[in-house]
Structure 1
Amino acid sequence: MHSKDDISGSGKPSDPDYTNPEFFKTTSGDEFHCTREQNTLDWVFNHPELLVFCKSKNNEIMCLEGDPGCGKSVCTKSLVSEHVFDAEDRLVCACFITKNCPEEQTAARALQSLLYQIFTAHPALLSIHASDKIKNVGRSILSCKESLWDILISVISDPAIGKQIVLLIDGVDESDDPSWFFSKIESLWVGIKTEKDARVKLFYTATLASLNIKQLRVIQSQDYVNNISFDLEALSNSYLQSCNFSTTNNLNISQAFAMLRQQNSNYLAFNLFRPEIEKQIVDKPRPHQVKFLSSMPKTLDQVYNRLVKEYDSDDLFRVLCIVFGAAEPLILEEFSVAFAVSSGMGYHGDIRQKQPRQFDQFLAKTCGPLVKVVGNKVYLTHDSLRDYLLCVRKHGRPAKFTNVKKECHNVLSAACVAFLNLKDVKSNCGYTGKSLPTSKKRKLTGSTTPVDSMFFCFFKYTARYWLQHFRHATKHTSKDNEILQDLCTPQKVGEIPHLLQMCPPHNREITKLAAEIKNLIPQNCLTEESKTILSLYIAAWLGLDAVLKHMLPTRWGQKIPPAPGTNLAQTYINRAPRKGYLPPLGIATKNRHFASVELLLKGETVPLEYDMAPHFSLQLSVDLDWTSLFQYAFQLPDKEGGKASSRIEKQYADQLKAAAASGKLEYIEGLLSKGPKRDEFNLQSVYSSTLYAAFDADEPNIGIVEQLLDHGADANYRAKNQETILEAAAQHEEPKLVIALLRAGASPNIHSNCGKRWYEYDGMEDAAKEAGFDIVMD
């Protein structure tokens, strides 16, 4: 246990020991998986490809490929525990990646685990290959996958590591950046495939092998459906022998197992549905059994669907929401508090006071096999359940799971508020939005609860974010943006970065927001106007469209005449909190919160501040998803859509012209790549006017001209009473510009009579000839 002072102390952390393998200490992730049952998975262990992989004297790479639940992780752990790869002077290291736990999902964590195992076996290698890098950046290196990969490559190249190293990586495609991981594995193989010394063997698992490597050895589980079915038969027979069922029940259960194997040869599906079979078969009437047997699930998702319906209750819903929405896995004590508070602090109010084992039993009764407890922390039973909860319509899930992320925020924010009794929150809200009775406040914050212990960091750093979401997603109070404005006061800003330091590295959005707030809040007190601007900015940053709806007037999107007390949010909706920053529509677009984008477009909003200096606006505009802005603007009803699309098109055109006039190709490339698709929107006039503007630069960029012509700019475009594009280009006396226009279809015979003809400028006759034209003088 740690005191509050331990958590919030301002002292600098002690310098890490650059030579101690404990610096890299982390779990391999194998605790989430079991080893194989007797006489199962022999189709992998006896596979010719695996046997050759083990005995080969060359560098080798191999993949076990298969759908979720086919035994990939169990197989990987069993290969290690049964010492299949062990040999003299050979080091075996394994890591397990899972989406079920955000910390276990990062590529950096997987590499850290491998390095920890290597440096523990060979401590001297740390000083040679990692110490200098650690000295330069400290503990931040543990979240940098590129640096960790470089260290790994350096280490496995060192002869001191031994004759050979075997790396096992389970679930490469489950990592937070699978394409990066696959590309690195491929680059490793390219570097070692031709070496004579067999120093590296790499074994990995994935749903698809995903590597185009000729020498890749692959075992595909879909080729061994019958073998898996035999394994499941052995498991079911073993299970029935260990149970004391009657002969009739044994026969009926055996029949159900056989039907399940026939429909679904999947280890995970079998183990999840086995308790359900027992429940629905043992001592049940024959008609009930027949009805149950007539609809065995055919896929893993159907298994989840049946289990969710079987355990359907508000308690199950709350448990799944809390597990799914937690920024990091909760230990049983934390979970019991969150569950008690989210249940309304009624008859569940004392559930957190039970012993962890008692609450573990409550979870088993409430959720069945859908959740599990590993190392005193609560997880979903398998990462495929997380995918199931996210894919709503595809599998016809019960309606209450249609917006599970939002519900997670509501449940957990209520727990945060009631539990912490935050001083800066004017009213404590329960899950129902009602104030808590004084007696219950005391009950939740009494001396029996270690409020300041380290494991309640979870509540501390999530309270503010979830609270604001919860308050504005339920019943609104008269103080419409009270919580957001609390975030924006100078007194609170010092707390925010510290609270958010405890965020795990994967929660980058909140960490970035904390840094932004620190930069944006002035030293002096904020005015109501600046509070409103900052509140709108934060709401748009996080995509809290419920907050935006509440802050903006009821008649949002309609012209409201100025009057005393005009809504400040509407007045300042196009203001950025500071020069060089995006206004709400811009930041919502950049962070891809499209529900907020659609809402904001209904009013007179723009993605960039008016009258912003070009060097600021161009840097910001290339980060915007202009394609989505155009699409959402055109999807609005005719009246709103016409206004929104014209605003977006005008700002996009202005940015293109400013980029063209700057002469910087990277701005044009960024805007065009993130701009609307040519087959969906006709912006030829915009590209043509931009092409004309490109020649306003002192030294026009030929790359910009070519890019615009490729996007359909009209080489014969001419502004009213202005020179032709050819004439504007010829004035710069740069043949490449004129040649590009002529080859794109510019007519050499159109003249503006505003001065010299284009071919009368120096070098233009030669340019015309190179483009295939002969100049004939009048």
Structure 2
Amino acid sequence: MLPSVVKGARIWAFDYNSNYSHDAQTVKIDGLAVALLNCMKDRCGDFESRKIIFIGSCFGGVVVAEALLTAFRDAERKKALFDQTAGVIFLGSPLRGTKAATFAGWKNLVFGILGPDQESSDTLLDDLKENSSRLENLVAEFGKLTVRSRTQAGIEVRCFYETRKTQMSNAISRNLPVKEMLLVDKVSACLDCHEHIPLDVRHAMMNKYRGPEDPNFKLVSGRIKDIMDKIRADRSLTGDEKKCMQALSFPYQDQKDVNPERVEGTCEWFLQHEKFLAWCQDTTKNLLWVTAGPGCGKSVLSKALVDEGLLHAGNPDTKTASICYFFFKDDAERGSGINALRSILHQLFKQKPWLIKEHAIPDYEIHGPKFPFSTLWNILIKAASDAKAGPIICLFDALDECELSNRNSLINYISSFHRDSKTSTSKLKFIVTSRPYNELSIEFKVDDLPSIRLDGNELLENISREIDLVIASEITRICSGRSPPLDDGTQTSLIQHLKTYNNRTYLWVYLMLQEISRSLESTERRLTRLIETIPHSVNEAYGNILKRATKPDQAQRVLRLILAAERPLTLTEMNIALEILDMEENGEHPKSDRKLELDRTEAEFQRKIEDFCGLFVSIVDQKIYLIHQTAKEFLTSNNGILNSWSPSCWKNTFAHEASHLEALKACMWYLQLEFRISRSFLSYASINWTFHYQQAGKDADNELGKDALQLCDTTSQRFSLWFQELSLERWGLPPVNSNDLIIACTFGLTTAVKLLVEGKSNVNVDCKGAMYDRTPLSWAARNGHEAVAKLLLEQGAEVDARDADDRTPLSHAAESGAAA
């Protein structure tokens, strides 16, 4: 049946002995993976110019994942096989093991049927046991390789899971008592960062269909065809279209996947809400605003809506919709409205590549890779109005964490679109989540704004019931994972104790469950005593976590760097930053990166960070995050009033300027090194040191002004190094052959400018740089650096000097919003 759906494709089958009893083989997963790779190597000429889609049913999916991971580690196989792989379809694959593989559940029954003289092999079953460390490592490593980023193409993955239980006893002997179970449940069958699709079948029927009209066959073959269409569309993109896609790329998937998956049965308060169902089913309803307080699970809900296909809600018109999303976070990169629209368009054109030529390329030819905010929005509206676009659903999560000016612009654009929708043919719809801030409601400027707000007794009761489900599910998981597992009575007692607390939120429950999970206690009495000491609020929990920091000074430094970082730092970047700061603090002043004594592996350093900060940070895909937005609010102060820090007092003790000063020191001191081994921190330090300088305020000028002057020495190799990195990221910079004064004025380095104009008699404050013919005053005014502009004017800088565009410093100042 498949050839009729994916025409022109070559279809191969790889079979193997997967028996667990009679005639069972003793080979393990890696052995079968190598056998698959060898089979493909013998026929590699057949697909040298073709892309590969693997379909792995049951254990075959595990073999496929292992084979691709093995191929990735070998240069020859990577080029021949891994790089040619475009997609993987998993059909009920036990990626995280299955309860059916336990010794007691299967092998004992097999022995009972075959008799004691029959020999079976549990080699395969050992690897398939639930919570197998072997599979956990496989899933973690394979999952990273499938994600698209700037450095890797990624792999399209679709995970299908069964929804009907199998009668276990009938599968082995009809004379045994009936026991029903999902052989491979959803958690095991699905990868976190890819689409999850349910099939209404038991496990044995995941790859068996009645005919081409079988709904399950249509569902599976449709996903295969989708991947095929994307392969063909990607091949058809021109050079400029590929460059445009690169300009729109952003790690949006990482931001979504930081959030945990919902527990089955939760989020029903929203999924069954009449306004959500109306929004899904009525094509004229194109906006829905969902609000709830902190820690109520908004981002978990948003992730489920995207990953589980819940935005369709039974409407056949939207099942072919392009789902595009962005999860805002409160930092410069992840809080950018420009990055949000870039991400939305990248996802749209990835799903509907034929739209890019007509609707994005004309603007790309004008602006290059740096699209203005308004242009990105206009591209979205034009593309959505195309008759070939089909339905488009855009989800913006945590809009309140978007940078203020971008946020207001985005709200105004969405509001205008909503008001004008009666005269539009577009099938574009928006769903937005945020905290219930009144200023957002005012900004929307929409009469009868369609919204769902999590308040009122009925909704709060629903949330409370769902939190009970999370408690029961997670306590069962934690207790079952202990060695030996905790008994049912202890589990029940823990669940009941946690349910007695009032005013619970998802965040509070998560923190409490982590406390229990990390506890070494194993008796009911001691665990109950632990629960009785649990804090009653999230802030109290945060304080307790940080009070237990083994090295409070180091924890404080790590948290400052996280708070100041323009984007989440990787483990390697944090490792380098901490080492430089520690060495400088101890008076060691390294001259070369060879002098940095870094932890040998990322795993070692990760354990160190977790030891410093405990549950206060989370590490996902080697990037370091605060556990939640409320953690940032706990550390900082909105009203400017700070408490004095001590190892026992953390709340409202982190000053904005002090955090940025710490990050600035790490960046500047790193850029002054001679690079002999690695440049792992070079990109971040080069792109962001001047930003941290501005945010650190007067302390930056007082403490690091002379260091800044050294980095502005345009004759030095270190200047060429960092300025080249920055030029790849930012437009509108002076030419690389500019003089020291123009560079210092461009970035608002007041002390460096002062040292140049007051300390050197031959410095011309009205010198003009190449290309733009701009004076230092024009560069300072253009970038809004008032203190530098004032300093230049005091030195007699010409206020009416005109550049190549016939513009003066005053016109540049007016455009930047600086005082003239």
Deviation at 1:397, TM superposition (A): 6.9
Query: Does the C-alpha gap of structure 1 residues 247 and 310 become closer, same or farther in structure 2, counting only changes over 3 Å?
Result: farther
Contact 1:497/1:515 (8 A) holds in 2: no
Matches within 5 A, 1:272-291: 272-276=511-515, 282=521
Match of 2:546 among 297, 304, 308: 308
Q: Tell me, yes or no, if structure 1 residue 486 matches structure 2 residue 700.
A: no
Which residue number in structure 1 is paired with residue 645 of structure 2?
Answer: 398
Which residue number in structure 2 is paired with residue 63 of structure 1?
Answer: 289
Q: Tell me, yes or no, if structure 1 residue 170 matches structure 2 residue 170.
A: no
SS in 2 for 1:491: coil
Query: Does the C-alpha gap of structure 1 residues 408 and 123 become closer, same or farther in structure 2, counting only changes over 3 Å?
Result: same
Deviation at 1:457, TM superposition (A): 2.3
Which residue number in structure 1 is paired with residue 37 of structure 2?
Answer: none
Query: Does the C-alpha gap of structure 1 residues 257 and 397 become closer, same or farther in structure 2, counting only changes over 3 Å?
Result: farther
Deviation at 1:277, TM superposition (A): 6.0
Query: Does the C-alpha gap of structure 1 residues 283 and 351 become closer, same or farther in structure 2, counting only changes over 3 Å?
Result: farther
Matches within 5 A, 1:517-528: 521=740
Which residue number in structure 2 is paired with residue 384 of structure 1?
Answer: 630
Q: Greater shift after overlay, 248-257 or 468-477?
A: 468-477
SS in 1 for 2:618: strand
Query: Does the C-alpha gap of structure 1 residues 161 and 42 become closer, same or farther in structure 2, counting only changes over 3 Å?
Result: same
Q: Identity percentage over the alignment?
A: 20
Deviation at 1:250, TM superposition (A): 6.0
Contact 1:170/1:206 (8 A) holds in 2: yes
SS in 2 for 1:135: helix
Deviation at 1:194, TM superposition (A): 4.6
Deviation at 1:190, TM superposition (A): 2.0
Match of 2:280 among 46, 50, 54: 54
Q: Structure 1 counterpart of 2:542, which letter?
A: Y
**Cα offsets for 1:137-157 (capped at 9, x unmatched):** 32223xx22111111000110
Give the Cα–Cα distance (whole angstroms) in 2 for the partners of residues 107 and 465 of structure 1.
18
Q: Tell me, yes or no, if structure 1 residue 216 matches structure 2 residue 437.
A: no
Which residue number in structure 2 is paired with residue 658 of structure 1?
Answer: none
Which residue number in structure 2 is paired with residue 190 of structure 1?
Answer: 419
SS in 2 for 1:140: coil
Give the Cα–Cα distance (whole angstroms) in 2 for the partners of residues 62 and 205 of structure 1.
9
SS in 2 for 1:40: coil
Q: Tell me, yes or no, if structure 1 residue 257 matches structure 2 residue 484.
A: no
Query: Does the C-alpha gap of structure 1 residues 216 and 286 become closer, same or farther in structure 2, counting only changes over 3 Å?
Result: same
Deviation at 1:202, TM superposition (A): 1.6
**Cα offsets for 1:281-304 (capped at 9, x unmatched):** 958999999899578344x44443
Query: Does the C-alpha gap of structure 1 residues 123 and 286 become closer, same or farther in structure 2, counting only changes over 3 Å?
Result: closer
Matches within 5 A, 1:449-468: 449=677, 451-452=678-679, 456-461=682-687
Query: Does the C-alpha gap of structure 1 residues 387 and 94 become closer, same or farther in structure 2, counting only changes over 3 Å?
Result: farther
Which residue number in structure 2 is paired with residue 128 of structure 1?
Answer: 358
Which residue number in structure 2 is paired with residue 515 of structure 1?
Answer: 734
Query: Does the C-alpha gap of structure 1 residues 611 and 378 become closer, same or farther in structure 2, counting only changes over 3 Å?
Result: closer
Deviation at 1:375, TM superposition (A): 1.9
Give the Cα–Cα distance (whole angstroms) in 2 for the partners of residues 470 and 184 of structure 1.
34
Match of 1:502 among 725, 729, 737: 725
**Cα offsets for 1:611-632 (capped at 9, x unmatched):** 77675699767988xxxxxxxx
Q: Tell me, yes or no, if structure 1 residue 28 matches structure 2 residue 269.
A: no
SS in 1 for 2:388: helix
Give the Cα–Cα distance (whole angstroms) in 1 for the partners of residues 293 and 323 of structure 2.
24
Give the Cα–Cα distance (whole angstroms) in 2 for the partners of residues 133 and 77 of structure 1.
31
Deviation at 1:336, TM superposition (A): 1.9
Match of 2:559 among 320, 330, 340: 320
Q: Structure 1 counterpart of 2:605, which letter?
A: F
Contact 2:765/2:775 (8 A) holds in 1: yes
Contact 1:608/1:621 (8 A) holds in 2: no
Query: Does the C-alpha gap of structure 1 residues 569 and 294 become closer, same or farther in structure 2, counting only changes over 3 Å?
Result: farther
Q: Structure 2 counterpart of 1:152, which letter?
A: L
Query: Does the C-alpha gap of structure 1 residues 43 and 165 become closer, same or farther in structure 2, counting only changes over 3 Å?
Result: same
Contact 1:170/1:204 (8 A) holds in 2: yes
Give the Cα–Cα distance (whole angstroms) in 1 for the partners of residues 275 and 541 of structure 2.
32
Contact 2:471/2:509 (8 A) holds in 1: no
Give the Cα–Cα distance (whole angstroms) in 2 for the partners of residues 237 and 140 of structure 1.
49
Q: Tell me, yes or no, if structure 1 residue 146 matches structure 2 residue 374.
A: yes
Q: Tell me, yes or no, if structure 1 residue 17 matches structure 2 residue 17.
A: no
The gaps in structure 1 that reach 5 residues or longer are 2-6, 8-14, 424-444, 522-530, 553-566, 598-604, 625-665, 676-778
CA RMSD across the alignment: 5.1
Which residue number in structure 2 is paired with residue 156 of structure 1?
Answer: 384
Q: Tell me, yes or no, if structure 1 residue 94 matches structure 2 residue 359.
A: no
Which residue number in structure 2 is paired with residue 717 of structure 1?
Answer: none
Give the Cα–Cα distance (whole angstroms) in 1 for the partners of residues 455 and 808 of structure 2.
50
**Cα offsets for 1:113-172 (capped at 9, x unmatched):** 22222222222211121122222332223xx2211111100011011112x222222222
Which residue number in structure 1 is paired with residue 311 of structure 2?
Answer: 85
Query: Does the C-alpha gap of structure 1 residues 50 and 475 become closer, same or farther in structure 2, counting only changes over 3 Å?
Result: closer
Which residue number in structure 1 is paired with residue 139 of structure 2?
Answer: none
Give the Cα–Cα distance (whole angstroms) in 2 for the partners of residues 379 and 59 of structure 1.
36
Deviation at 1:173, TM superposition (A): 2.7
Q: Greater shift after overlay, 391-400 or 97-106?
A: 391-400
Give the Cα–Cα distance (whole angstroms) in 1 for the partners of residues 701 and 781 of structure 2.
26
Give the Cα–Cα distance (whole angstroms) in 1 for the partners of residues 306 and 547 of structure 2.
38
Give the Cα–Cα distance (whole angstroms) in 2 for the partners of residues 131 and 297 of structure 1.
55
Query: Does the C-alpha gap of structure 1 residues 113 and 499 become closer, same or farther in structure 2, counting only changes over 3 Å?
Result: same
Deviation at 1:589, TM superposition (A): 12
Q: Structure 2 counterpart of 1:515, which letter?
A: P
Match of 1:73 among 260, 284, 299: 299
Give the Cα–Cα distance (whole angstroms) in 2 for the partners of residues 570 and 181 of structure 1.
47
Match of 1:422 among 673, 679, 692: 673
SS in 2 for 1:90: coil
Which residue number in structure 1 is paired with residue 460 of structure 2?
Answer: 225
SS in 2 for 1:234: helix
**Cα offsets for 1:453-476 (capped at 9, x unmatched):** 6x6422455568879999996999
Query: Does the C-alpha gap of structure 1 residues 218 and 416 become closer, same or farther in structure 2, counting only changes over 3 Å?
Result: closer
Query: Does the C-alpha gap of structure 1 residues 249 and 397 become closer, same or farther in structure 2, counting only changes over 3 Å?
Result: farther
Query: Does the C-alpha gap of structure 1 residues 413 and 256 become closer, same or farther in structure 2, counting only changes over 3 Å?
Result: farther
Higher Cα Rg, which structure: 1
Give the Cα–Cα distance (whole angstroms) in 2 for the partners of residues 42 and 350 of structure 1.
52
Give the Cα–Cα distance (whole angstroms) in 1 for the partners of residues 696 and 281 of structure 2.
58
Give the Cα–Cα distance (whole angstroms) in 2 for the partners of residues 62 and 315 of structure 1.
44
Give the Cα–Cα distance (whole angstroms) in 1 for the partners of residues 541 and 727 of structure 2.
32
Q: Structure 1 counterpart of 2:474, which letter?
A: Y
Which residue number in structure 2 is paired with residue 331 of structure 1?
Answer: 570
Query: Does the C-alpha gap of structure 1 residues 413 and 110 become closer, same or farther in structure 2, counting only changes over 3 Å?
Result: closer
Give the Cα–Cα distance (whole angstroms) in 2 for the partners of residues 474 and 57 of structure 1.
54
Query: Does the C-alpha gap of structure 1 residues 517 and 485 become closer, same or farther in structure 2, counting only changes over 3 Å?
Result: farther
Give the Cα–Cα distance (whole angstroms) in 2 for the partners of residues 150 and 588 of structure 1.
26
Which residue number in structure 2 is paired with residue 438 of structure 1?
Answer: none
Q: Structure 2 counterpart of 1:316, which letter?
A: A
Please give the TM-score of this superposition, normalised by the length of structure 1.
0.57
Contact 1:324/1:386 (8 A) holds in 2: yes
Give the Cα–Cα distance (whole angstroms) in 2 for the partners of residues 239 and 324 of structure 1.
30
Query: Does the C-alpha gap of structure 1 residues 229 and 465 become closer, same or farther in structure 2, counting only changes over 3 Å?
Result: closer
Q: Tell me, yes or no, if structure 1 residue 234 matches structure 2 residue 484.
A: no
Q: Structure 1 counterpart of 2:409, which letter?
A: W
Query: Does the C-alpha gap of structure 1 residues 583 and 82 become closer, same or farther in structure 2, counting only changes over 3 Å?
Result: closer
- For these two proteins, the number of residue pairs brought into alignment is 538
Please give the TM-score of this superposition, normalised by the length of structure 2.
0.55
SS in 1 for 2:300: helix
SS in 1 for 2:310: coil
Contact 2:241/2:361 (8 A) holds in 1: yes
Deviation at 1:61, TM superposition (A): 1.0
Q: Greater shift after overlay, 396-405 or 23-32?
A: 396-405
Which residue number in structure 1 is paired with residue 343 of structure 2?
Answer: 113
